[in-house]
Structure 1
Amino acid sequence: MLEGQLDDFQETLDALVAISGCQPEKLNRVSSLQRGFFDRHAQTTETVTQILKEMAEQEEILAQALADLEAKKNQNELESLEEELRLCKIKNETLDSELDHLQKELDRLMIQDEQLTAMESEMQEDTTEVIPSALHVVKLYQLITKIKFEYETPSPILKGVHYGENLVTPINIDTTRKSRREIADELWSLVSSEWETK
């Protein structure tokens, strides 16, 4: 396109020389300057075009690098999120396992609580029936034997007091050294065989 314009300009210049009868050297100098201008213009245009082309290539390379970087960043973020999700799943499984274990423990404790409540209820029923009758029997024994036992003593020691008519006798028997029969005989020996009638 530029070459065509240059040719048109040369033809116009030649036509002017022919018509005007100007001095050919001046016209040639003008023509030469004009051609130099057009050559320089063509070179500049070519250089600018090359620069623009290289800039476009660089922009494309930069855009691709940016896209790659963004994709890599997204990939890294995705991998990070996947790792976080994996860790959350592991933690969730652990918590589910702990929850299941705690639920089983709670169920076991509830069953034990029900059993204890049932046993307590049975004991209360037994106590309601047994304790008054046991107390009655103990009082009856105290009246007959005149022996009062101390119940809060160390387990192998049997302590108490026998209230005789004229004599109070302390009782202190080590149950590990005597048989049950010997202990019974010793206690019955304290009891008077004479009955009082009032």
Structure 2
Amino acid sequence: MAQNDAMHDDDLAKSGEALIEFIKSSKAESALRGARENLQEFFDHHIKTKKTTTELLNDKICFVYLQKELERLRDTEQEIQTLQQEVDEDTTEVIPSAIYVAQLYFKVTKIKLEVDTEPHILRGVHYGADVAAPINIDTSTRSPCEISDDLWSLVNTEW
């Protein structure tokens, strides 16, 4: 039996060595080490997320400020919408009346003024009986009365 036990011990030792060689060749140790590193990275990320969440929850002053800022922006948006609605209403009322006045002015004076000019330039055309005369007046150098007199001097007063 002693010989049988020695044989079993020898077989057991050989099996153990074979198992160790198999584990080394299968790279189980490196896979285990990689899994351990991944677990550590996950744990570190968890700790960082927990810290950030805690800071955000504890920083109520910032939250209150952001809430007030959001409310202010909503109020501003409402004001802008109200102003846009007023502009739309004014546009639908004022522009047709302005067009009517411009058409009436042209029928009486035969003067057609350009609207896309520099702010201090009055430009247009007077369609007289014989010839069309260009109008180009620098309003920054003349008084409103002088400009009015010049324009009315172009209009035929004979009926």
TM-score range, shorter chain: 0.5 to 0.7
Indicate whether 1:175 and 2:139 are aligned: yes
* Mapping 1:47-126, distance limit 5 Å: 89-94=54-59, 96-126=60-90
The two structures have a TM-score, normalised by structure 2, of 0.61
Of 143, 146, 154, the match for 2:118? 154
CA RMSD of aligned residues (A): 2.5
Secondary structure in 2 matching 1:173: strand
Secondary structure in 2 matching 1:109: helix
Secondary structure in 2 matching 1:186: helix
Structure 2 Cα separation of the partners of residues 186 and 93 of structure 1: 75
Name which one, 1 or 2, has greater alpha-carbon Rg: 1
Gap runs ≥5 in structure 1: 1-83
Secondary structure in 2 matching 1:192: coil
**CA displacement at 1:149 relative to structure 2:** 0.9
CA shift digits 1:103-129 (9 cap, x unpaired): 222211211111111122222222222
List 4+ stretches of structure 1 deviating above 3 A.
84-94, 96-99
Structure 2 Cα separation of the partners of residues 111 and 85 of structure 1: 35
Structure 2 Cα separation of the partners of residues 93 and 152 of structure 1: 58
Q: How many residues align?
A: 113
Change (3 A) 1:106 1:87: closer
Q: Between the two proteins, what is the percent identity of the paired residues?
A: 46
Structure 1 Cα separation of the partners of residues 129 and 153 of structure 2: 14
- In structure 1, what residue type is equivalent to 2:149? D
**CA displacement at 1:100 relative to structure 2:** 2.8
Of 121, 125, 144, the match for 2:108? 144
Q: Identify the structure with bigger relative contact order (alpha carbons < 8 Å, sequence gap 6+).
A: 2
**CA displacement at 1:91 relative to structure 2:** 4.9
Structure 2 Cα separation of the partners of residues 134 and 113 of structure 1: 30
Structure 2 Cα separation of the partners of residues 141 and 159 of structure 1: 15
